[in-house]
Amino acid sequence: MASPASSESRLIRRKLSLTPLFHQTDMMGVIHNAVYFLWFEEGRMQILLEILPIEEALRLGAAMPVVENTCHYRKPVKFGMPLQLHTTHRVEPAYHGRLVFKHYLLHEKLRTEMAWGESVVTLVDRHANQLIKAWPESVWQRYQALK
């Protein structure tokens, strides 16, 4: 198990194109507020699966539950709007029990901010239901190598 301190943190970025679907709209004709958290999950999972693929997580008995989720809605998103989700994560030199992901939802053509939020996950032993304080060496190396 490892969590050695190296140098300093660095920011990684991932981008995802999204098109809101009709079934995601509410009675007001805009995308329902809960859908944003599903989109944030897609952005977060782009990064998390690079660190710990599902098959490996199951083998290790590890889970990465969300412990905080926020969303700030700026402009209404409607059916069919071309969107781009930008997710960032600061790769830290040591694990402190939390991984923070920031999400920015933009209208792809107008470059207008539609919403932004943050997701925080932790690493838990699924069987003992306890926080994992140090990552397996192979997972930690993969995390540190993210670009």
pLDDT in tens, 40-50: 999 999 999 99
User: Comparing C-alpha atoms, which of 38, 50, 41, 40 is closest to residue 12?
Assistant: 50
Q: Are the CB atoms for 91 and 140 separated by under 8 Å?
A: no
Q: Are the CB atoms for 24 and 31 separated by under 8 Å?
A: yes
Could you tell me the CATH superfamily of domain 10-144? Hotdog Thioesterase (3.10.129.10)
- Other beta carbons within 10 Å of 32: 15
Residue 9's pLDDT is 84
CA distance readout (Å), 92 to 4, 5, 117, 135: 10, 9, 20, 13
The overall average pLDDT reported for the chain is 94
Q: pLDDT grade, residue 8 (50/70/90)?
A: confident
Extents of the domains making up the chain:
10-144
Residue 7's pLDDT is 57
Predicted TM-score (pTM) of this structure: 0.91
CA distance readout (Å), 145 to 10, 79, 85, 104, 115: 11, 38, 23, 24, 29
